[in-house]
Amino acid sequence: MDDQQRQPYAFSFETGDGQNKKLLGGKGANLCEMTQIGLNVPPGFVVTTQACLDFLENDQLPEGLADEINAQLTALEEKTGKGFGDPNSPLLLSVRSGSALSMPGMMDTILNLGLNQETLQGLIQQTGDERFSYDAYRRFIQLFGKVALGVPDEAFDKPFEEIKRREGVKADVGLSAENLKEASERFLEAVREHTGRAFPEDVKEGLTLAVKAVFRSWMGKRAIDYRREFKITPDMANGTAVNIMTMVFGNMGNDCATGVGFTRNPGTGENLMYGEYLVNAQGEDVVAGIRTPKPVQDMATEWPDMYQQLEGLRNRLETHYREVQDFEYTIEKGTLYCLQTRNGKMNAVATVRTSVEMANDGLLSREEALLRVDPELLEQLLHPMLDPDHDGVHVAVGLPASPGAASGKCVFDADRAELLGNAGAKVILVREETKPEDIHGFFASQGILTSRGGKTSHAAVVARGMGKPCVAGAEGIEVNTENRQARVGDHVLIEGDVITIDGGNGKVYLGEIETVPPEFSDDLRTLLGWADEAARIKVLANTDTPDGAVTAADYGAMGIGLCRTERMFNAPDRLPLVVDMILANTTEERQAALDRLLPVQRQDFEGLFKAMGDRPVTIRLLDPPIHEFLPTERQLEQELAHLRQLRGTIEGMRDLVGATKLMGDPEKVAAAEKIPLPADGVELIDEAIAKKQLMLDKVRELFEINPMLGHRGVRLGITYPEIYAMQIQAVIEAAAICQSSGQHVKPEIMVPQVCTAQELMKVRELVAPLQQRVASETGTDVNFSFGTMIEVVRACMRAGQLAQVAEFFSFGTNDLTQAAFSFSREDAENKFLPFYNENRILQDNPFEVLDVKGVGRLIKTAVKDGRDQREGMKIGICGEQGGHPTTIAFCHEVGLSYVSCSGPRIPVARLAAANAKLRAEEAAAVKLRTEEAA
């Protein structure tokens, strides 16, 4: 490209485009913007990121850059009336890096560039302050030496510390002009020693070296690591700009100061200037902590007119950027300069509060206020978090499976968790993996830690549903349930040892770490109310208990999108009934057990309907393979062995009594008779053995090599129609009870694992007679809708046929993802998936963020075919991905009616649903404008 065509490599602050952060870097663009809106910014210019990229390509300054820099320097000299390298009135510059995204790890700042032996004398004369001038000079040599010439810190620190020690001063401010002069000379010497040449006296050469050093820092290890860690792609930031600005000094006397501020409090969001300043100091002094800065509010009394000016700057920045700003300023001899501004980083509380207040004050529209908050940030507000200042060192890392943090005594089985938890202890349930029968342990625990399983494992899904923290698949942990011990690396945990888990990042700590409580504030309610008004897609809850439903309603759930009824079967009062149902050998026996389950289920459903009022409640019929309600084969074998041993012991004790009688010693007979022998002991044990043996036989009978693809879901409902019939009857009866007491209910019955319309029709056949029976028995006609989950690939391909029977679809994307990828949802996440993600074979974990390209295509096909058959059909998603903002944006785009997610994800999903709609509208408007312009 010839010079005529290419964009300039350098822009003065008066001419650079303040919106073009990619070209000028964030810092540079803001300096241009601030200058152009009339804020007092020291004059300067920006060398572009393009110049950086061109430099890196050939490892030499691109042609034309030196001329442009010279031209900018001449213009600066004119603006300031000073000369670069002019001993009579030296122009001094600061040089800073700055890419499109703020990126710590790149080059440090160089200050006072323009000083050399000659200009130093000029500075002394001009300021009349030898100490100040030598201080500026030694800082320059030190920074330039380190940054541009690669001299190590110690080369400067050592002589400087020596001088301080010799002079008996602790802080730099205690050094005299003479001391600083000596320091400068020793620094120059250090540079010569390390670089093998004299410190550059030519100021222009100095500037060129500084610019090159900034460019090179883009490819420095720290910067590359940072970009990799935070997934900063060239699309987001490519190359660094160089900001070259006239120096202003906050350390020229008591009418000078330096400070940093936020336009609002970044910790609370309060609409009050926040920050610190230091009189007669340079920015570095604040950072180095040499002197303690004062809160900016002190300036209001100590320096009222300057405080007024600062307030003016704050207001101007906020009204212009319409965002909280984090800014830096210097006051030089009573004049306020703004040196930098950027959007303030805030915690979740402050982000929500400022959004609501800025919208209420008219600074932002409600839509802008919503878009300003990252939905994921809300997670912080809903769970206890570890104290951000804790200094705990983690001993293991697993998958962050359910957010929040908790401490407690570790226990290794659900019964112990229940026992200790109910006795008031805080416990963490630590298991290799959890099973449905562990559910009572979940209730009693503060959090769950497993060494196997992924983010859709039983532990993860259940914990998320309950809003309890969970770290899953922490592979370094070996659990030994029998010995009530676990090994974590070199540590052995014994039951009762306290641990802390952080489900937000998967870390496990020994001992207790303080947590900070969650806060569902009025501001958050207000913001989410606006979100509901803006969103098109509805947000429902995955929850299985009336308590869960009440919590979900409080989080703003617009109904229940998935009640996994099997969860209800696991409660301790139901499990025996379920076991009887499974052990039944005949339909009659099974019906007898189901008759006892019916009232319990009915009560459950009534509870859900009551909690949700007139909002829809989707009840999914039984899904998992029934062997999951029974103990494992190994466990049963062990229990049987123990029972047989016990039986032998009791018989042995009876023999002992008999034997002592034969001995003819009355004392021994009396002693033997005192040994407590349970009455009917053997009979009781025999009964237990018989039951356990029956269970073992059943477990063996039900055994499947691959139960996840086996006898489960609708397949169960078809082979044991009485199970589904009982559940359907319970739903209709519960709805009738609610309806007859005047409550409007919206029950929905949903069938899992369907792959053909024939299956659905079979289940549908059960419905009508039950509906009629309830109507004639209670006099109440119950209306409900009948739908299907779509969670197998064939169901997506046959959605048109399914829609002939189903009134609604709900995508079960946990199973659908498993089916589409052929990745086990139980194992993939802690086996090969992290490797896949790290090596970019897959961008995301598809069990967390919906795979739009593959699974999403299946969904699109099913939505289209379903709605072609049944116009306006209600279609949602209820897999774990349904609470993830990116997935929600996809669901919005393909026209789903709702997403359903675990209770604590609901606020995140409500905001994400609004943002998805607003972003889609924005994109459509841009497209329209582009088309119109074309």
Distances (CA, A) of 418 to 411, 443, 471, 679: 10, 8, 19, 29
Tokens of 399: 């998958």
Q: Say if residues 399 and 473 touch (Cβ distance below 8 Å).
A: yes
Pick the closer one to Mg ion by CB: 285 or 791.
791
Pick the closer one to ligand PEP by CB: 318 or 623.
623
CA 890 from chain centre, in angstroms, equals: 19
* 791 touches ligand PEP (CB under 6 A): yes
Shortest Å distance, C-beta 486 to Mg ion: 30
Q: How many residues bind ligand PEP (CB under 6 A)?
A: 10
Among 812, 856, 876, 903, which residue sits at the site for ligand PEP (rule: CB under 6 A)?
812
Shortest Å distance, C-beta 725 to ligand PEP: 21
Site string for ligand PEP, 575-614 (x = CB under 6 A): ----------------------------------------
* 454 touches Mg ion (CB under 5 A): no
* 460 touches ligand PEP (CB under 6 A): no
Residue of 52, 563, 878, 891 marked active site: 878
Active site residue 891: no
Shortest Å distance, C-beta 537 to ligand PEP: 17
Q: How far apart are CA 46 and CA 242, in angstroms?
A: 6
Binding segment for ligand PEP (CB under 6 A), chosen from 63-71, 103-111, 187-195, 807-815, is 807-815
Q: How far apart are CA 910 and CA 538, in angstroms?
A: 8
Site residues (CB under 6 A) for ligand PEP, limited to 162-181: none
Pick the closer one to ligand PEP by CB: 23 or 617.
617
Among 812, 856, 883, 904, which residue sits at the site for Mg ion (rule: CB under 5 A)?
812
Q: How far apart are CA 546 and CA 534, in angstroms?
A: 29
Residue 823 three-state SS: coil
Distances (CA, A) of 596 to 509, 721, 726, 769, 848: 45, 16, 10, 21, 39
Pairing type for strands 491-494 and 485-488 reads antiparallel
Binding segment for Mg ion (CB under 5 A), chosen from 224-232, 554-562, 804-812, 832-840, is 804-812
* 815 touches Mg ion (CB under 5 A): yes
CA 888 from chain centre, in angstroms, equals: 16
Instruction: Tell me the sheet residues that pair with 44.
Output: 245
* 564 touches ligand PEP (CB under 6 A): yes
Shortest Å distance, C-beta 812 to Mg ion: 4
* 826 touches Mg ion (CB under 5 A): no
Partner from Mg ion, ligand PEP, none contacting 813, C-beta within 5 to 8 A by type = ligand PEP
* 139 touches ligand PEP (CB under 6 A): no
Among 50, 280, 325, 813, which residue sits at the site for ligand PEP (rule: CB under 6 A)?
813
Shortest Å distance, C-beta 498 to ligand PEP: 32
Which helix (H) or strand (E) is 206 found in, with range? helix 203-217
Q: How far apart are CA 537 and CA 863, in angstroms?
A: 15
| Residues 6 or more apart in contact with residue 100 via CB below 8 angstroms | 21, 22, 25, 26, 49, 236, 237, 238
Site residues (CB under 5 A) for Mg ion, limited to 755-794: 791
Tokens of 579: 């076991």
Q: E strands along 355-404, which residues?
A: 385-386, 394-397, 399-402
* 713 touches Mg ion (CB under 5 A): no
Pick the closer one to ligand PEP by CB: 564 or 892.
564
Active site residue 755: no
Q: How is residue 781 annotated by DSSP?
A: P
Binding segment for ligand PEP (CB under 6 A), chosen from 39-47, 221-229, 381-389, 810-818, is 810-818
Read out DSSP for 643-677? HHHHHHHHHHHHHHHHHHHHHT-HHHHHHHHHS--
Q: How far apart are CA 477 and CA 461, in angstroms?
A: 20
Partner from Mg ion, ligand PEP, none contacting 400, C-beta within 5 to 8 A by type = none
* 878 touches ligand PEP (CB under 6 A): yes
Pick the closer one to Mg ion by CB: 413 or 815.
815
Site residues (CB under 6 A) for ligand PEP, limited to 609-648: 623
* 344 touches Mg ion (CB under 5 A): no
Tokens of 593: 């057990």
Instruction: Tell me the sheet residues that pair with 900.
Output: 540
Distances (CA, A) of 608 to 436, 544, 546, 549, 687: 21, 8, 5, 6, 38
Q: Looking at the chain, how many residues does it have?
A: 934
Crossing angle for the helix pair 177-195 and 153-167, to the nearest 10 degrees: 150
CB closest to ligand PEP, residue no: 812
Q: Which residue do the tokens 């030190």 mark?
A: 142
* 727 touches ligand PEP (CB under 6 A): no
Residue of 383, 440, 458, 627 marked active site: 458
Shortest Å distance, C-beta 442 to ligand PEP: 16
Pick the closer one to ligand PEP by CB: 403 or 812.
812
Shortest Å distance, C-beta 764 to ligand PEP: 21
Q: How far apart are CA 464 and CA 164, in angstroms?
A: 58
* 562 touches ligand PEP (CB under 6 A): yes
Site residues (CB under 5 A) for Mg ion? 791, 812, 815
Site residues (CB under 6 A) for ligand PEP? 562, 564, 623, 791, 812-815, 878-879
Residues catalogued as catalytic:
458, 878
